[in-house]
Structure 1
Amino acid sequence: MAAEEYRWTGKPLKIGELEAEVPIIQGGMGVGISRSSLAGAVAKEGGVGIISTAQIGYDEDGFEEDQAGCNRLAIRRHLARAKEIACGNGLIGVNIMVALKHYKEHVKEAVAAGADVIISGAGLPMKLPELVGETCRTKIAPIVSSKRATQLILKMWDHHYKRTADFIVIEGPKAGGHLGFSDEQLKDVGAIDFDGEVQQIIACKKAYEEKFEREIPVIVAGGIYDGKDICHALELGADGVQIASRFVATEECDASEAYKQAYIQAKNEDIEIIKSPVGMPGRALRNAFLERIKGSKQSVLKCYNCLEKCNPAKVPYCITKALIDAVKGDVKNGLIFCGANTGRIHEMTTVHQLMQELIAETAV
């Protein structure tokens, strides 16, 4: 990187009365990959830092006995710490999976702790407006992958709660973690007209902008790697982008050094689509753990109360244990979610350097 510092010269990301100078949202990554260190650093650079609440308290004292309590405590603690790191810049929010057993509690805890935004996916967040309340400052966004899902959510929120989304995150088939696409679709990602879907969703939300007399920014996620990708999303009509995988190989990322090195050393052929206990396909790095679960079911010796619809007696493995093992550094025996472009990541950087690189590339 040259010594020259770059500033975003395009439109900032405006979500209601809130504003982030740089329209880049750092995607939420659980378990423990994006917590306060990463989210705070991204916000400090003028972006939107996102903390994943999925088993966020995995390293709190007493977690083995009280996962729910430790997670609530960690949500408060990490939101407060991220805001301290951000020094008043950018925005700080959370990603809360609808599939979580304690989804309602996580939403209410995040609101009470002063989260600027809540992004919610891994299911349809139909009751999210009810959980945050009518007068809440916290802005809410569903994660969608299709026009159909967008229409369903916006119509339901309008009908039941007389409100609409504050912004929308559209996640494409190249994203990491759990994916809102079928196994058949993911066999040929190139055949999916994601650009067309983005444009249809942008057209779909205009009716709700008119009805509620407010702008509903659209954020494009999944496979966003560099400034060229950001420019393409903006040209489609999006207001910003969400990037996750690239932030893993930063000094500020909350994962272990071994986890970060797994990303840096990964090649394209190391990435595969798996079946998660959540019931959705997911994208992850191939390792000894994935090879084992292909051959046989892994006995679940302890339930960590993470997923609403999980039956420990029937799932092929415990996703909480697999993700905790990975984030702590056991990258051979843990589950490592990743995006489709992870094979392009070859070196460690800092959040500042990465944000500067993305801003400079976008300006060009």
Structure 2
Amino acid sequence: MVFIKTLNIDGLIPKIPLIQGGMSVGISLDNLASAVANEGAIGIIGTAGIGLLENDKVKNVKEANIEGLKKIIRKTKEKTKGIIGVNIMVALSDYAELVKTAIKEEIDLIISGAGLPLNLPSFLEKDSKTKLVPIVSSLKAAQVIVKRWWQHYKYLPDAIIVEGPDAGGHLGYKKEDLQKEEVQLEHTLPQVVKFAEELKKEHNKDIPIIAAGGINSPEKVKKMFSLGASGIQVGTPFIATHECDADIKFKQALIDAKEEDIIIIDSPVGLPGRAIKNKFLEEVEKGERKPFICNFHCIKTCNFVDAPYCIAQALLNAARGNLDEGFVFVGKYGYKIDKITSVKEVINNLFQDI
């Protein structure tokens, strides 16, 4: 029997020590986040492109994203009294506006990765209750964030998510490093756990470490807790649920995927990504997709001059079920999912016999 710690994120204590991955564009919104929260875990809204869901022809994308985020947070709160958060990527052009909006809406926590969220505490107001949780892929990244936050804001992270290279979507590693032993979650997680223990001695603050990336079975869950994690973050298994906000064709693409279909791509945002190979990505690979007019300017690092497609539009198309003009981001072991279940079943499966 593995001892499962209580996950305590500075007073936010879910019944189940699980955070649902914040998947964008349009995959984890009010339905999925509230369903996870209602099961006693932490539900997360994916914020990238949130203002494009109803109308992707909007003139003012920043304004649409702010209004879209407000709307989805409020809808989620109507559906649950549980713990909910948002995932806001540092790479987003409107990062600051989305963070401020989430804090004003009194979201329980903000998770921030795809870059180092070095100024995240600067957006908190005196009476803000929102907790701040960075995502890192290395001990060095955790150390840099903690040093900056403490020096500039006298603030320490309320938790840290360590995401390994088996995750879906954008990955915080160079493509050629993904197989290296020293970047694997089993290697990095204990390093960051030890760092958190040192911080506790120095500052008397518990910083729970949450493991993420490729956690798809009770055996993996047990392994993460045995390595010192206080919780897990899981994304891909929640895609193939009735409650997931994506179109059924998006879910079916995951169910139909075989092991060889899950590939690493070069994303226009400058990071490698893990996705399901399809006709759209094959056309990109063959050079049949041409540079486009960038209407959104949504990602700071996007090389839209040379990029053969718009990542926001492609992900939005896929979420709507148009996989001829988009693709599905997925974790390394997504091919093992073969049917649509429920949020409750996903959580029960991960924590069975624990």
In which range does the TM-score fall when normalised by the shorter chain?
Answer: over 0.9
Written as runs of structure 1 = structure 2, the 5 A alignment for 1:113-128 is 113-128=105-120
- Structure 2 residue corresponding to 1:137, chosen from 129, 135, 153: 129
d(CA) in 2 for partners of 1:35, 1:28: 8
**CA positional deviation for 1:357:** 2.2
Confirm whether residue 151 of structure 1 aligns to residue 143 of structure 2.
yes
- Give the Å deviation of 1:189: 5.5
Offset at residue 116 of structure 1 (A) = 0.4
Among 247, 255, 258, the residue aligned to 2:249: 258
1:94 and 1:62 mapped to 2: Cα distance?
21
* Aligned counterparts, 1:9-28, within 5 A: 10-28=4-22
Deviation at 1:349, TM superposition (A): 0.4
In the aligned structure 1, how far is the partner of 2:234 from the partner of 2:184? 20
Given candidates 106, 122, 128, the residue that maps to 2:98 is 106
Q: Distance in 2 between matches of 1:46 and 1:269?
A: 35
SS in structure 2 at match of 1:357: helix
2:4–2:230 Cα contact (<8 Å) kept: no
| 1:300 to 2:292 alignment | yes
Residue 227 of structure 1: which of 218, 242, 246 is its match?
Answer: 218
Aligned to 2:37: 43
Matched to 1:140, the amino acid is L
Counterpart selection for 1:270 from 261, 265, 268: 261
Distance 1:303 1:82 in 2: 29
Q: Shift of the alpha carbon at 1:311?
A: 4.4
Distance 2:122 2:339 in 1: 43
- In the aligned structure 2, how far is the partner of 1:231 from the partner of 1:201? 18
Q: What amino acid does structure 1 have at the position aligned with 2:220?
A: D
Runs of 4+ in 1 over 6 A off after TM superposition: none
8 Å contact kept, 2:196–2:206: no
Report the alpha carbon displacement of residue 192 of structure 1 after superposing the two structures with TM.
4.2
Are residues 1:85 and 2:76 paired?
no
Aligned to 1:291: 282
Q: Give the Cα–Cα distance (whole angstroms) in 2 for the partners of residues 59 and 243 of structure 1.
A: 23
| Cα displacement (A) at 1:207 | 2.7
Residue 181 of structure 1: CA displacement? Answer: 1.1
Gap regions ≥5 residues in structure 2:
none
Distance 1:179 1:309 in 2: 14
Partner of 2:233: 242
Say if 1:225 and 1:138 are closer, same or farther in 2 by CA, change over 3 A.
same
Contact 1:24 1:47 in 2 (8 A): yes
Alignment match of 1:52 (pick from 41, 46, 51):
46
Contact preservation (8 Å) 1:164, 1:208: no
After superposition, the Cα gap between the structure-2 partners of 1:265 and 1:189, relative to the gap in structure 1 and judged at 3 Å, is: farther
1:232 Cα deviation from its structure 2 partner? 0.7
Contact residue 163 and residue 212 of structure 1 kept, 8 A: no
Deviations 1:123-176 (A, max 9, x none): 000000102245421000110011111111111111111111000000001000
Task: Measure how far apart 1:10 and its partner are.
Answer: 4.3
CA RMSD of aligned residues (A): 1.7
What corresponds to 2:202 in structure 1?
211
Name the CA shift for 1:62/1:345 in 2 (closer, same or farther; >3 Å): closer
Q: Tell me the residue number matched to 1:75.
A: 69
Residues 107 and 132 in structure 1, CA contact (< 8 A), matched pair in contact too: no
Q: Aligned partners of 1:292, 1:224: CA distance in 2, in Å?
A: 31
CA contact (8 A) 2:269 2:303 kept: no
What is the rounded CA distance, in whole Å, between the counterparts of 1:141 and 1:192 in structure 2?
Answer: 20
CA offset at residue 300 of structure 1?
A: 1.1
In the TM superposition, what is the alpha-carbon distance from 1:326 to its structure 2 partner?
0.5
Q: Secondary structure at the match of 1:97?
A: coil
Q: Give me the TM-score of the superposition, normalised by structure 1.
A: 0.93
User: Do the aligned partners of 1:119 and 1:142 also contact (CA within 8 Å) in 2?
Assistant: yes
Q: Is the 8 A contact 1:303 1:312 kept in 2?
A: no
Match of 1:33 in 2: 27
* Secondary structure of the structure 2 residue equivalent to 1:159: helix
